[in-house]
Structure 1
Amino acid sequence: MYGNVVAYMTLHFEEQKLIYFVLMAVVFSTTGVTLRATLASVIVSIASMFWFAQKASPEIAHQFAFIGVATSFASLGMATLLRKAILRQIDARLFADQLAALDSLTGIANRRSIFARIDTLVEAKTPFWLGILDLDGFKSINDIYGHAIGDRVLCEVVDRLGFQSAAGVQFGRIGGDEFAVLVIGEHEAADVEEIGNALIADISRPYDMRPLQLSIGGTVGFARFPSMGTTAREIYEKADFALYRGKQFARGYTVIFTDDQDAEMREALALERALREANLEQELYLLFQPQFDLTRAKVVSFEALARWQSPTLGLVRPDRFIRAAERAGLIQNVTRVLFGKALDALYLWPDEITISFNLSAQDLADRAFIFSLVAQVTAREIAPGRLEFEITETAVMKDIDAARVLLENLSALGFKIALDDFGSGYSSFEYLDQLPLDKVKIDKSFVRKVAQSATSREIVAGIIKLCSNLDLKCVLEGVETEDEMRTLNPLSPKLIQGYLFGEPMSQRDVLGLLLAAEQVKDGMTAA
């Protein structure tokens, strides 16, 4: 452009065409790649105009001198403003990219960012430990006090994690109340366990959310690259499985993935796949075990026992598929289907017969889900008093305050509450005081030893007496032999559940049993 104008003006000078140099200066000020190149182009253009203006009349030369000076300042201003705008846009884009890599609430790396970091470490074959940290008791804070308080707690947790940061340790929020802990470099398992326990200790200190004083805990599972897996997915799955094991058996501690867990994890993943592909309505079913009232010499209730007949795996033990369903996040689907089948069975039983239905820890943690079960009962016009929800110590120990509120609501609606496996945990007596219980089921580990152990007899006798004083029904589980029953009789038990009085049976057998009992009753009345 500049060469064409100069060539034309050299061969055919025209005063009016001097304006071309001004226009070029303006164009160069807005199109220059760098500020230095822009200034050089503007200076050359205006200088060329002054040189050619010497051939013009004095009046025209004087006009273009003023125009050239004004154009120089204008071009410099335009170049400066344009570059500031461009830099501002670049900064905004970089800032947006940075925000996209951060969790919007806590300001630490988000899920996408932390997993991108893990992928980079895997590609570079850099050793690292991945930990999955899950908060214990956080969900109930959200449910009871609202998300505003929950968000403040999460931000405080992140602040505490920041204080625990050391060289090579990074944190990210995976989602909800779950965090990733990345320990980069070669570290021994004992060192990583120490890091995890320090994190848990720090986040377990009370939270001052005036006027509230809140408490939560944490559990973390760790897996190491490359010794425990060669891909980011493998490492994440193993860290997540270690966390799951920790939530089951070592809540509040750090759990390191081990070779022993590897086989268990493969089995669990196979179960999860089968559960995801299962037709739960067709494959899940219930058996019912009677609870016998000794004083009335009759069956008064049945416990609903879950069963799964998989077309690929065959009959799967309840403890195995329930754990797999909890881990896979499918437990509520399982519970919903089984609860519907329990109501179907109960609808055909006499009104005085009740049913006991087990709730998992994850079921209890979701208030909305529990009340969706209540809605099923209401829709079928079944009296709430015929439904007894069985809970375990494990199910309520995660957050006893939240569990108490939920169970009190259920009790107020007329549902019965039973504490299962009483005596198997370390703090069962605390639950007698804090929970709205109607029934206690003594763990079978005590019942089965009463014939040989004087200590077990005294424990069972003490619990029976305690329940009587507290106006609680007491069920002895696992009574299988006449010897056990003869030993138990002097202790004055009232309710028995065990093979001696009835094995788990199908709905057809239940109806047959109830019909036979009704016929006996009618015969006695007639006599």
Structure 2
Amino acid sequence: MRTASRFDTYKTWIDPVRQQALAKAYCPIVRVLLLPGAAYYLYVTWAHWRDETGLSLLILGSITSVTALCFLLIRQFMVSEESVTLARLELAGFIANLLIYFNVLIYTIMNFEQTKLIYFALMAVIFSTTGVTLRSTLFTIFLSLATLFWFASDLSPELFNQYVSIGVATAVASLCMATLLRKAIFRQIDARLLADKLTAKAQRLADTDMLTGVPNRRAVFEKIDYFVKQGRPFWMGILDLDGFKAINDVYGHIMGDRLLCAIVDRAKDINLEGVTFGRIGGDEFIAILPGTMTEEEVKRLGKDTIDAISSPYPMDLLELTIGASAGFAHFPSMGSSSAQLYEKADFALYKAKAHQRGQCILFDTAEDKEMKQAIEIERELRECDLENELFLLFQPQYSPSLQKVVSFEALARWQSPKLGLVQPDQFIRAAERSGHIRKVTGILFNKGLDALAKWPRDISFSFNLSAQDISDRSFILSLLSAIMKSGISPHRIEFEITETAVMSDLETSRQLLQTLRSSGCKIALDDFGSGYSSFEYLDQLPLDKVKIDRSFIRKVPHSDTSREIVAGVIGLCRKLDLRCVLEGVETESEMAILSPMKPDLIQGYLYGKPMKDSDARDMIDRQQEQSNHGNAAPDQHEGLSALS
């Protein structure tokens, strides 16, 4: 046990943490000695004024009063609990003990009384608890007992032997007390350091993403809140992976986890001083950049990170590729709290994913009003009763060759009690951004199936899918499950997709669309001609129908080029055995120009505005009645007036 104690003592001197802990433990002991000690020596000073005179009063009164003053000064300036160190505390305790010793020594020299030699033994006991370190304790105990023996040496042998016995007993008791006290303090220190170590480890675990080892959401936002509180400028960036879910679905979560770790390693290799990079969930990461960086530097760093992440990853026999987009906001110029900054960085990220995938976008303060409106819509989406507030309108698709309506496109609508009628593009974007799009799509699709079940079997309907819808295999399977439960033939259902919906992950989209088509459903490419590479999708996607964007139709009356483009696409679809829909036909003059091109289907106000399910059934009933009477389908004017 003595060996362990000596080793602990040695460690205390070489370990700054243990030294500081020992100082903290001994500080209250020394402070407790000093304040009552000062009061005691003030009392002794008064006693000397009462009992002493002349030179004796001057010497003894001066020593005791100086001692009281020194005790107060030492307590105030040398053993402050806020700034105490072991060296300073040892010096303070040593000085205090020497002052006590010299007070007793001078008094004994000037007023020797044999019975008061016991004071030196009592001092040794006091010094055993106030010596702070073992060396100062041993020195003061030795000094006190040596002085006791020095004075006792002038006494009779019998008395001297008695004081020797008292001194030895005092030495043993003092050393035992010093050893026990230090052992207790060392155990307390070790227990405290162990607790601190375990607390720090638990804190690290609580603040660390267990998969990747980088700071987690809690740790990152604590740091952001600290910077905000300190008023320190910084950039907050949110980085989201493009196509990660497809890798999880195809190769499994183990491969997905390995890929996330590899992505973090790539990001950490871009070593920039002061940057914090963390994971806040799924395939979403966050970065905190020093506020001294300019917008161009932030964009460049974001682009470098995206480029590094987007390089191929060799994984066993595979080589995986993934993309990323990022959005940034600045404190304090773009927000005054972590919540505001996150909303704005997330809004910038959504802009990047919607329009500039693979890029780093900074929040534009000019979009603040748009963002607040989007956040309000998102809030209502979370809190409202979507089942009762969402509904569909149906716009007919007219076949000129059959002279009747053969299909309807289902158009999403939301009537909010608080916001009123919300524009479809607004709440669809908000639903995508907030993660509610699959819930919205599911509710609307079931309403569409309910309407379709009431229509004749020769009438079909088309339903729009978002980018998130066609990147989620389980959601696509849930749509097929709903079709099977409804008992409706899949051939009556057509799913519309846009170029922007498939461009982020063409291969995954192609596979899931093929799953829908294999079940019997039809696939239509919407807004054809409005993108950059639509013709590529004609070759790569499993399509049944193409819808020519209305921007071409509007130019048909006064643009020869637009007429040739429309005619060319109609002819191309015919050769590829694809149905072709002309969107946005609103006037008879447009139809007169388009008729010679022999379009397959027409959709526009000329043949019907978006209508409720009941109005769609009325149109179908009138059409059937006229067919049963052997008459042609209603002319364009009649159809238009009935639906307006």
TM-score (norm: length of structure 2) = 0.69
**Which residue of 144, 147, 155 corresponds with 2:261?**
155
Query: After the TM superposition, which residues 6-45 of structure 1 pair with which residues of structure 2 at under 5 Å, given as runs?
Result: none
Amino acid at match of 1:123: K
Identity %: 54
Q: Quick one: distance in 2 between partners of 1:325 and 1:90?
A: 45
- Which residue in 2 is equivalent to 1:195? 301
Provide the rounded CA distance (Å) in 2 between the counterparts of 1:509 and 1:38: 100
Partner of 2:553: 447
Instruction: For 1:206-355, list aligned pairs within 5 A.
Output: 206-355=312-461
**Does the Cα contact within 8 Å between 2:395 and 2:603 map onto a contact in 1?**
yes
Equivalent position of 1:403 in the other structure? 509
- Paired residues of 1:241 and 1:257 also in contact (CA < 8 A): yes
Does the 8 A contact of 2:291 with 2:330 survive in 1? no
Q: How many angstroms apart in 1 are the aligned matches of 2:393 and 2:380?
A: 21
Question: Is this contact kept in 1: 2:291–2:331, CA < 8 A?
Answer: no
Q: Mean alpha-carbon deviation: is it higher for 455-464 or for 197-206? A: 455-464
Question: How far apart in 1 are the matches of 2:258 and 2:305?
Answer: 18
Deviations 1:281-300 (A, max 9, x none): 22221111111111111111
Deviation at 1:231, TM superposition (A): 1.2
Displacement of 1:329 in angstroms is 1.9
Once the two structures are superposed, the pairs formed by residues 354-433 of structure 1 within 5 Å of their partners are 354-433=460-539
How far did 1:233 drift? Answer: 1.3
Partner of 1:186 in structure 2?
292
Within the candidate set 223, 230, 253, 1:117 is matched to: 223
Q: Secondary structure at the match of 1:229?
A: coil
Change in 2 beyond 3 A, CA 1:459/1:210: farther
Q: Comparing both structures, which one devotes a greater share of its residues to helix?
A: 2
> How big is the shift at 1:111?
0.6
**1:115 match: secondary structure:** helix
1:90 is displaced (CA, Å) by 4.3
**Contact 1:35–1:79 (Cα < 8 Å) also in 2:** no
Q: Tell me the amino acid that sits aligned with residue 508 of structure 1.
A: S
Match of residue 461 from structure 1 = 567
Q: Which residue of 2 aligns with 1:175?
A: 281
Amino acid at match of 2:205: L
| Structure 1 residue matching 2:524: 3-state secondary structure | strand
How far apart, CA to CA, are the structure 1 residues paired with 2:263 and 2:133? 50
Question: Given residue 168 of structure 1, which amino acid in structure 2 is its aligned partner?
Answer: G
Q: Is the 8 A contact 2:131 2:137 kept in 1?
A: no
Q: Deviations over 1:343-368 (max 9, x none)?
A: 11101100011010111112222221
SS in 2 for 1:524: coil
State whether structure 2 residue 233 is matched by structure 1 residue 127. yes
- Of 571, 574, 586, which aligns to 1:480? 586
Query: Quick check: which has more Rg, 1 or 2?
Result: 2
Q: How far apart, CA to CA, are the structure 2 residues paired with 1:263 and 1:376?
A: 39
Unpaired runs of 5+ in structure 1? 1-27, 49-53, 56-64, 66-71
Assess if the C-alpha contact under 8 Å between 1:169 and 1:182 holds in 2. Answer: yes
Check whether the contact 1:144–1:402 (CA below 8 A) recurs between aligned residues.
no
Q: Deviations over 1:137-173 (max 9, x none)?
A: 1111111111111111111111111111312222011
CA–CA distance in 1 between the matches of 2:407 and 2:602?
10
> How has the CA–CA distance of structure 1 residues 482 and 525 changed in structure 2, closer, same or farther, with 3 Å as cutoff?
closer
* Cα distance in 2, alignment partners of residues 245 and 78 from structure 1: 63
Work out whether residues 133 and 180 of structure 1, in 8 Å CA contact, stay in contact via their aligned partners in 2. Answer: yes
User: What is the letter of the counterpart of residue 415 of structure 2?
Assistant: Q
Deviations, residues 478-526 of structure 1 (Å, cap 9, x unaligned): 1111221122222221111111121111111111111111111111199
1: CA distance, partners of 2:567 / 2:408: 24
Contact 2:556 2:593 in 1 (8 A): yes
The 1:206/1:522 distance shift into structure 2, 3 A limit, reads same
In structure 1, C-alpha distance between the alignment counterparts of 2:339 and 2:585, rounded to whole Å: 47
* Residue 243 of structure 2 corresponds to residue 137 of structure 1: yes
Residue by residue, what CA displacement relative to the aligned partner does 1:456-488 show, whole Å, maximum 9, x if unpaired?
Answer: 222212211221121111111111112211222
User: In 2, Cα distance between the equivalents of 1:181 and 1:256?
Assistant: 13
The count of aligned residue pairs is 487
RMSD across aligned positions (CA): 3.4
In structure 2, distance between residues paired with 1:479 and 1:525: 24
Find the aligned partners of 1:361 and 1:491 in 2 and give their Cα distance.
33
CA 1:457–1:251 in structure 2 vs 1: closer, same or farther (change >3 Å)? same
Q: Does 1:471 align with 2:471?
A: no
